[in-house]
Structure 1
Amino acid sequence: MSRYLCFAFMFLIPFSICLNQEGHFLQQLKLGFDDPDGFFSDWDDTVADYTPCHWTGITCSEPGSGFVIAVDLSNANVAGPFPAVLCRLTGLKFISLYNNSINGTLSDDLSSCRSLVRLNLAQNFLTGTLPASLAELPELRYLDLTGNNLSGDIPASFGMFQKLEAISLVDNLIDGKIPAELGNISTLKQLNLSYNPFSPGQIPPEIGNLTNLEVLWLTDCNLIGPIPDSLARLNKLVDLDLAINKLTGPVPNALTELSNVVQIELYNNSLTGELPLTGWLKMPALRLIDVSMNMLTGTVPEELCSLQLESLHLYENELEGKFPEIISNSSNLYELRLFGNRFSGSLPKDLGKNSPLVLLDVSNNLFSGEIPASLCRNGALEELLMIHNSFSGEIPLNFSKCHSLKRVRLGYNKISGKVPLGFWGLPQISLLELVENSFTGAIGKTIADAGNLSTLNIANNNFSGELPDEIGFLDRLIEFSGSNNLFSGSLPASIVNLKQLTKLDLHNNGFSGVIPTSINSLRKLNELNLANNKLSGNIPVKIGELSVLNYLDLSKNQFSGKIPVGLQNLRLNQLNLSSNSLIGDIPPVYAKKMYINSFLGNPGLCGDIEGLCDGKNVTKSMGYVWLLRSIFVLTGSIFIIGAGWFYFQYRNIKNSKESVDKSKWTLMSFHKLSFSEYEILGALDEDNVIGSGASGKVYKVVLSNGDAVAVKKLWDGSKMGENEDLEDGLGSGPVLDSGFEAEVETLGRIRHKNIVRLWCCCSTKTCKLLVYEYMPNGSLGDLLHSTKGGLLDWPIRHKIAVDASEGLAYLHHDCVPAIVHRDVKSNNILLDGDFGARVADFGVAKVVDANEKDGNSMSVIAGSCGYIAPEYAYTLRVNEKSDIYSFGVVILELVTGKQPIDPEYGEKDLVKWVYTTLDQKGLDAVFDPKLDSCFKEEICKVLNIGLLCTSPLPINRPSMRRVVKMLQEIGSLNPTKFASKDGKLTPYYYDDASDHGNAA
């Protein structure tokens, strides 16, 4: 009847009256959201059938019926609180708001969605606790709340779900314990609680009651204790993942009762003892097993290797003995990772013969014998990693036809003979490492076919002959290390065609002739080492045009003539021209005592360096020194007096501005607030100041509800430069208008547990306030370098490093577009009450332009002394690698307890001090004496990561995502192995592909 009435009056009243009630509810939903992309553009009330059934994202039970059964707003880029009005759609079975900006909390109103079968709110910004009333939904089968900021406990009431089949709470902030009541959900098939900061607790034995369970994922849930035998009752289980926890005890024999399991992930725990010797044959479906990064001992069971495995990861344990030959019968095996154990004997001779082997990593073991010729029998092998063993014999001839190979690392073995000609020219290979063997012969001209080769390391062998001209065809080559060989002849002229080359190291050979004059075409060259050869002629003037060169060693050659003045244009960390026949004056930039060893053994050289020219310039030099010192003292005195005067004048001016007119403030919030701007403004008095700097103050404000916030108050018109510091307890950095805008823009849209939360900002024309979550332990820098540094034991320092790296990895890899912080340092890493770390101060953060391969160019340097990457100082290019260098300095601070710059280093900074001290005094002289020596091995591993991050070559620095993984792999309850020799550190080689800590 209502439809006829609507038709009768259609010319007299608006169409909106014709829209049914469910359409009106959806209109309310639309009004509650921000919709920048126009997702709701067709959600209007001018509908022909009086229903919303044709709107985008809406599904009805029958066309034209008007009963909405599904609302799908996935990837709509809408923002706003969860629309409780949805539960007024009585027939609604499906809700998906996946990957939007849904914020606020989940209320008990959800329990009124009585027909709901699927609820997907994953990848949003939901906060607060999980509503206990969710378990009252009688029809709910699938619940996905992945990737939010939900906290608190999992309610015990969740054990009352009647039909729930899948629950995913991955990557939230849930911090209670896993409730035993979950074992009561008899219908459950998938339980995924991974990546939550649960309180330390054991796996509830009641989980074994879930006999319908097919997937159990408890990765990184802070689990402790043994794996319960009750899991053996999960006879339908297909996928078990308990990785990245602190589980102890053995791998229980009961796990072999999981007859349907396909994948088992137990890596990165503290499991001990031997793997079960028998029972594996009861698991015929098992295809992938990973028990790496534990403390397992003994041998590998024959039964395990007799299964039709596809992937077997046993790396970084203490396993030993000969590896079972029967693994060769696994017809599906594509991945075998055994590195970092004590396996011995030969590899199975038929390995790869019957399977599509793609990756083999047996590095850092005691393997011997020849390399099996069958490894690439099926033409699928892509990665062959065998460094640090005792393999002997020659490279099999048939490897010349292994065109699938991409990465080969055979270094540090006893392999000999000539490299097969075809092996030099494998078309897909990007990394070829043959370092530290006994290879002979020349580099084959076939190397011209290796068009993808980026790293060639053949140092420390017996290679001879001339370098072929064809090496200049490798237009993707980035690093070439051929030192300590028997090469002779001239450097090929074609070498200047290697436009991507960053490192050329050919020292300790027999090269003669001259350096090609057009070497300036190697624009990306960062390291050039041609020491101890027979090179002659003049040092090419055009070396001075290599703008990113910072390592130059031409010592022990036969160079003559003058040192090119253009070398002064370079920013060199290392310069050595000693033991040549150079003459004339040393360029003024290098005429300093610190460079004296760079020029020794050149009788014709002279300059104002004490001791280089038999003392004839000593008096003159000392006069200059005293003059400079006098000028410095005078200038410093004037500066101090002026600064003091300015401070008192500035304080008086600023105090006159302290009063604020509360009626003129504008508030912009980024989270649901439990306070008003008036409560903040009323607490900005001197008694609450916790930090101050040249550009403002920071206040601790205790709210009426008992919570605390930190308020950074910035005065408009600050003259502070971009790279000056504000030591204020909220991180330090710039606070110009542009800095304020950058901080608001960046933190206003970021939601991550390891990035400081910006609650809101308040502003007037003359004053700006940033309101943050309060961090009671202040900044890492203040705590670490104060008398309270002893509070930070090694497990806490390791946790801080992991937390901060995860925050930076989020900026670099998960933000779209990516963000570069540009001022990473210990004072910009804040600590909460549990010493959890947050990255702070985004005043100079920059969005990375996806169209700029090398990053955005800045007009000035941002950052702080001691943290700035060497290439940044003169290229002004912004990319993630500069952040990674700065974070590496933070790691070195955590390991050494020292500041990034300190008078005790002389003209060095912390990075150079660490390298020098390691070389001269060994590991113990580097470690912070406050740290317990029982963590020495773990600290050494973290130190290695810091050295990698601070590599002078940006390309050698790992990605931040890789840094996170490396740090996570080093658990305080899982000591890892490191290489040392005579008390000196042996650097580890990491990259972004698959090498997990292989020493290089």
Structure 2
Amino acid sequence: MTTITTSLFLLLVISCALQVSSNGDAEILSRVKSSRLIDPDGKLNDWAITGDNRSPCNWTGITCDSKNGAVTAIDLSGYGISGGFPYGFCRIRTLVNITLSKNDLNGTMDSAPLSLCSRIHVLILTENSFSGKLPEFSPEFRNLRVLELESNLFTGEIPESYGELSSLRVLNLNGNSLAGIVPAFLGNLTELTRLELAYVGFEPGPIPSTFGSLTKLSNLRLTNSNLVGEIPDSIGDLVSLVNLDLAMNGLSGEIPESIGKLKSIYQLELFLNKLSGKLPESIGNLTAMRNFDVSQNNLNGEVTEKIASLQLVSFHLNDNFFTGELPRVIALNPNLVDFMIFNNSFTGTLPTNFGKFSGLTEFDVSTNNFSGDLPPYLCYGKKLEGLISFGNQLSGEIPESYGECDSLNYIRMADNKLSGEVPVKFWELPLTRLELSNNQLQGSIPPSIFKARDLSQLEISGNNFSGTIPARICDLGELRVVDLSRNRFSGSIPSCINRLKNLERVEMQENALDGEIPSSVSSCAKLTELNLSDNRLRGGIPPELGELPVLNYLDLSDNQLTGEIPAELLKLKLNQFNVSDNRLSGKIPTGFQQNVFLPSFLGNPDLCAPDMDPIRPCRSKPEPRLVLVISAFCIAALIGALVWLFIKTKPLFLRKPNRTDKVTIFQRVGFTEEDIYPQLTEDNIIGSGGSGLVYRVTLKSGQTLAVKKLSGGPGRKPESESVFRSEVEILGRVRHGNIVKLLMCCNGEEFRFLVYEFMENGSLGDVLHSEKEHRAVSALDWTTRFSIALGAAQGLAYLHHDSVPAIVHRDVKSNNILLDHEMKPRVADFGLAKPLKRENNNGVSDVSPMSCVAGSYGYIAPEYGYTSRVNEKSDVYSFGVVLLELITGKRPNDSSFGENKDIVKYAMESALCYSSPSPEDKAMNQDSAGNFRDLSKLVDPKMELSTREYEEVEKVLEIALLCTSSFPINRPTMRKVVELLKEKKSLE
């Protein structure tokens, strides 16, 4: 009886102790929540001690030991909480796991209070905003097994204390801006199974040979970690490796034979390095490997039978210098899904059995020297999505079986020797792109092409296609590019073309098209290029073409067009304009009477213009008596018309502002709106855009102004109204030396205009890229470019940090940075700008969600792809693109970058292949190993740089790459950008 009583007593004591402990844990959690964390969405509302809720084990994110009820883990991932690191959680003595990933936590992590957490086993803080140096871990953290700090803002070198965390199994520091090199002391962590140091801003350094001691490692990820030198032989000692990712670095030399010892490897990623030599035969021993990528290196030689026999799922050899024929056995692989070998020098025929024994989805053999027929079984498994074979010498017909491949969505077969007719069902596939250009194909486009409703790009130029363009092509509402040039198409252009609202480029030159140019094409508001040259088109040039808001390339030459050149075309801002060799007549519109346009009008004998030799001047020689009669009649008619017009409305050049016109003065000026009205004439137009025309107005005082005239009246376009309101509301109160000055505005029923200071040197985009204008200043030296970059950055920093409210521009680009007579920059065009609102709880600035993507192609930040809510970091990205333009002298989407590359990707790849050389190496364009890729490959060749300027370009390049980071959180603020640009030394 005594024993039973004692046991019950002990059980009661333990139960009470657990209850006290549980209550204490609840108090700690509640206290930390209220003092350290911000819970804007109320996800932790149940963290409250009540009569019925005194145990925290049922609280959100809390895990307790099932036996004793003690709190063991806190997981608040993705709850949207903010604040600093909650050190107080570690007062719970039984806590071993803290997971706080995907939140808005910030601040630094101090070693002293962190010592409270020395008992924990797991610390996961990925995707937050912690900053400062990486936290130190004292020897008391002997039980720490998992440390994940990925995607934060930590800086500095990895502390040596990390090499003493003897129990550590997972170390993940991906996506931080760390300094130093990959430390060798991490080789002491012999319990590691996963080591991830990817996308870390290390200084150039080697893979430590000490990593060979990490024999339990299954996952080693050092992607984009600025690694240089050779892959050490000790890599072969990592016998437990399943995933090895060394991609996007500067590794050189040959792939070591020892890599063949990684018998457990499933994925081997070595792409985008500078590796050379042949593939080691030992790779054929990696029979467990399924993903193999050595693309974008300098590898050569042939693919051996042993390597070709591997049962790979993805096989990427593209962008190297491989030669020889493909072993036939490669097509017998039952696992092969993704096959990429483009941009090499392979020869011979493609194995016939490709696709017959596996479910191929991607097949790209482009830009090699393959000949013979296309493999007929590529879509045997009915899974093929992409078929890319352009740039070879393939011949024969397109297999009928391809027409049955309903999974295909992307085809590029250009620049081969394919012949015969295209199977009818091939035109009907659910493709987004069909490219067959420069072959010997024939036949016609069937009306059934309307079934390809997702088709965005139709490119079949340079073949022998004939017949008419079917009207059913107008059912393809997603079409952006239509290139039917250099064929034998006849008939007229379908008038239903107005239904293709997404058209951006139309090329139909060098065919036998007749009929008139349909005026309905003016409905294609996204059209930038229209080339109908070298056909048999008749009739006049539709004036409606002048309504196309973004058209910059118009070629109607070598046709049979008649009538006058419509003055409406002056609304267009054309980089390419050609109406030569037609039957046009009359006076060339005044705005086109410039020598730069002269070749555009040749071959039209009946055109006239003054001072455009050999175009004849506009004068006639009728009989004197007839001249008198006509003159008298015209004078009388003119006087009558003027009297009537004066009485009814008053002419523009005399009329005063309507009483309903509202004139607002923003700066001290010496003119009125009456001085401006008479000069808003066709001769003074200097530019145009979607919202209106821009005029150069010179006053009697000699002052020159820029005047943007917007549409008025009841038919005002909503976008024009938005531009006017945005410019007035923002520029009317902004005062900064690097932001264009709005001097006056007039808002009336008939006319609305905005008056700005005039920028003599136009836009930065014109100066950098225009072939027609600004030739005197086109070769900007680096000092001037740097000054422009700094001034523009200061203007944007003012908008983001000093303006109240703060402003996000939303259309930062080189064309919106104007230059005065001293080349001082002014940020301009605030038609898309929006005020920012500051959130009180976390200080993050934001704007309301946008109904559509704002900005200009090539400058738009990648987050627009997954959110409509943007902030000032979107401007930072666009400014980074402008910096790259200043360095390279190229447009954001220059064709020289290659397929699917923009200036950001081009610069990033060039920078990855670059390591800072000494001044002597710079002169030699190579480093001590002979591997240096000179930055002159990236820098605008129009600049001659001194050694000091070269170093400055390198610094600005680093800033540009920071600004164009894929993740907004990793981009600096514009205020920080200004500081970095002003720094005398290179970035650390």
Deviation at 1:958, TM superposition (A): 6.3
Q: State how far apart, in whole Å, the 1-side matches of 2:910 and 2:732 are.
A: 34
Corresponding letter in the other structure for 1:576: N
Contact kept? 1:369, 1:390, Cα under 8 Å: yes
TM-score (norm 2): 0.67
- Residue-by-residue CA offset, 1:498-522 (whole Å, 9 max, x unaligned): 2222221101111112223433333
Shift of 1:884: 8.6
Residue of structure 2 in register with 1:758 after alignment? none
Residue type at the aligned position of 1:202: P
Name the CA shift for 1:587/1:117 in 2 (closer, same or farther; >3 Å). Answer: same
In structure 2, do the counterparts of structure 1 residues 408 and 564 end up closer, same or farther at CA, with 3 Å as the change threshold?
Answer: same
Aligned to 1:522: 524
Whole-Å Cα distance in 2 between the matches of residues 410 and 133 of structure 1?
Answer: 58
Structure 1 equivalent of residue 587 of structure 2: 585
In structure 2, distance between residues paired with 1:346 and 1:819? 56
The alpha-carbon deviation at position 423 of structure 1 amounts to: 0.9
Aligned-pair identity in percent equals: 37
Which of 202, 212, 217 is 2:216 aligned to?
212
**Which residue of 135, 139, 143 maps to 1:139?**
143
CA distance 1:245–1:791, change in 2 (3 Å): farther
Q: Which residue of 2 aligns with 1:185?
A: 189
Indicate the residue corresponding to 1:459 in structure 2.
461
Indicate the residue corresponding to 2:637 in structure 1. Answer: none
Kindly provide the amino acid, as one letter, of the partner of residue 229 in structure 1.
D
Task: Kindly provide the amino acid, as one letter, of the partner of residue 180 in structure 2.
Answer: G
Residues 1:220 and 1:136: Cα distance change in structure 2 (over 3 Å): farther
Once residues 124 and 431 of structure 1 are traced to their aligned partners in structure 2, the CA distance between those partners, rounded to angstroms, is 39
Q: How big is the shift at 1:585? A: 2.8
Give, in whole Å, the separation in 2 of the partners of 1:636 and 1:321. 75
Distance 1:365 1:206 in 2: 41
Within 5 Å, which residues of 2 pair with 1:431-830? 431-608=433-610, 610-611=612-613, 613-615=615-617, 639=703, 726=737, 821-824=810-813
What is the CA distance between 1:719 and its match in structure 2? 9.9
2:37 aligned partner: 33
Verify the 8 A CA contact 1:87 1:112 in the aligned structure 2: yes
Counterpart in the other structure of 1:771: none
Q: Shift of the alpha carbon at 1:821?
A: 4.6
What do the CA deviations read for 1:318-374 (whole angstroms, capped 9, x no partner)?
Answer: 111112221111111111111111111111221111111111111221222211112
1:288 aligns with 2:291: yes
How far apart, CA to CA, are the structure 2 residues paired with 1:971 and 1:474?
Answer: 45
Aligned length in residues: 743
Is residue 947 of structure 1 aligned with residue 894 of structure 2?
yes
Q: Work out which of the residue numbers 192, 196, 206 in structure 1 matches 2:200.
A: 196
Counterpart CA distance in 1 for 2:877 and 2:64 is 51
Counterpart check, 1:267 vs 2:271:
yes
Deviations 1:444-467 (A, max 9, x none): 233122111110111111212222
- Is 1:467–1:491's contact at 8 Å kept on the other side of the alignment? yes
The 1:500/1:344 distance shift into structure 2, 3 A limit, reads same
Q: Report deviation, 1:66.
A: 5.5
Deviation at 1:215, TM superposition (A): 0.3
1:340–1:845 distance in 2 versus 1, CA, 3 Å? farther
1:98 has 2:101 as partner = yes
Q: Aligned-residue CA RMSD in angstroms? A: 4.7
Q: Deviations over 1:768-797 (max 9, x none)?
A: xxxxxxxxxxxxxx9x966768999xxxxx
Q: Secondary structure at the match of 2:137?
A: helix
Q: How far apart are the structure 2 equivalents of 1:168 and 1:62? A: 30
The one-letter amino acid of 1:326's match is: V
The letter of the residue matching 1:86 is: F
Tell me which of 319, 326, 344 is aligned to 2:322: 319
Moved more, 89-98 or 338-347: 338-347
Q: Which amino acid aligns with 1:894?
A: I
**Is contact 1:134-1:158 (8 Å) kept?**
no
- 1:3-14 equivalence runs, <5 A: none
CA apart distance, 1:99: 1.4
> Which residue of structure 2 lines up, in the alignment, with residue 234 of structure 1?
238
| Equivalent residue in structure 1 for 2:402, among 375, 395, 399 | 399
The one-character-per-residue Cα deviations of 1:738-787 (angstroms, maximum 9, x if unpaired) are xxxxxxxxxxxxxxxxxxxxxxxxxxxxxxxxxxxxxxxxxxxx9x9667
Cα deviations by residue, 1:391-444 (Å, 9 ceiling, x for unpaired): 122211211111111111111112222111111111x21101111111122222
Find out whether 1:416 has 2:456 as its counterpart: no
Q: CA deviation at 1:226?
A: 1.1
Find the partner of 1:425 among 417, 425, 428: 428
Q: What is the CA–CA distance in structure 1 between the aligned matches of 2:425 and 2:595, rounded to whole Å?
A: 51
Asked whether 1:348 is paired with 2:351, we answer: yes
Change (3 A) 1:789 1:369: farther
Partner of 1:86: 89
The reply to whether residue 338 of structure 1 matches residue 341 of structure 2 is yes
Which amino acid in 1 is paired with 2:523? S
Which 5+ residue runs of structure 2 have no aligned equivalent? 1-8, 14-18, 621-680, 687-694, 706-727, 744-776, 801-806, 818-826, 836-845, 862-869, 916-930, 942-988
Q: Which amino acid aligns with 1:382?
A: E
> How has the CA–CA distance of structure 1 residues 536 and 383 changed in structure 2, closer, same or farther, with 3 Å as cutoff?
same
**2:175 paired residue number:** 171
Matches of 1:136 and 1:18 in 2, distance apart? 24
Relative to structure 1, the CA distance from residue 24 to residue 314 in structure 2 (aligned partners, 3 Å threshold; closer, same or farther) is: same
Whole-Å separation in 2 of the counterparts to 1:179 and 1:883: 32
**Contact 2:810 / 2:875 at 8 angstroms: preserved in 1?**
no
Q: CA deviation at 1:41?
A: 1.8
Is this contact kept in 1: 2:250–2:912, CA < 8 A? Answer: no
Offset, 1:227: 0.8
Per the alignment, residue 640 of structure 2 pairs with none
Native 8 Å contact 1:226 1:250 kept in 2: yes
SS of 2:132's equivalent?
A: coil
Provide closer, same or farther for how the CA distance between residues 627 and 640 of structure 1 changes in structure 2, counting only shifts above 3 A: closer
| Aligned counterpart in structure 2 of residue 310 of structure 1, from 308, 313, 321 | 313
5+ long unaligned stretches in structure 1: 6-15, 619-623, 642-716, 737-781, 793-799, 812-817, 829-838, 857-861, 870-877, 897-942, 984-1000
The residue identity in structure 1 corresponding to 2:852 is K
**Counterpart residue type for residue 462 of structure 2:** N
Q: Give the corresponding residue for 1:872.
A: none
SS in 2 for 1:459: coil
Classify the secondary structure of the residue corresponding to 1:27: helix
Matched residue, 1:893: 886
Displacement after TM superposition at 1:177 (Å): 2.3
The 8 Å contact of residues 265 and 291 in structure 1, kept in 2 or not, is answered as yes
Cα distance change on mapping 1:430 and 1:321 into 2, 3 Å:
same
In 1, Cα distance between the equivalents of 2:902 and 2:72?
45
Contact 1:480 1:505 in 2 (8 A): yes
**Largest Rg, 1 or 2:** 2
CA contact (8 A) 1:889 1:950 kept: no
1:722 to partner: Cα distance: 8.9
In the alignment, the residues of structure 2 paired with residue 347 and residue 261 of structure 1 have an alpha-carbon distance, to the nearest angstrom, of: 29
Letter in 2 for 1:947: D
- In structure 2, the CA distance between the partners of 1:514 and 1:477, relative to structure 1 (3 Å rule), is same
Matched to 1:584, the amino acid is G
**Does the 8 A contact of 2:590 with 2:683 survive in 1?**
no
Contact (CA 8 Å) 1:478, 1:503: kept in 2 or not?
yes
Secondary structure at the counterpart of residue 561 of structure 2 = strand
* Residue aligned with 1:304, SS: helix
Q: Contact 1:274–1:298 at 8 Å: present in 2 too?
A: yes
| Alignment partner of 1:150 is 2:149 | no
State the distance in 1 between where 2:561 and 2:816 align: 48
Deviation at 1:187, TM superposition (A): 1.5
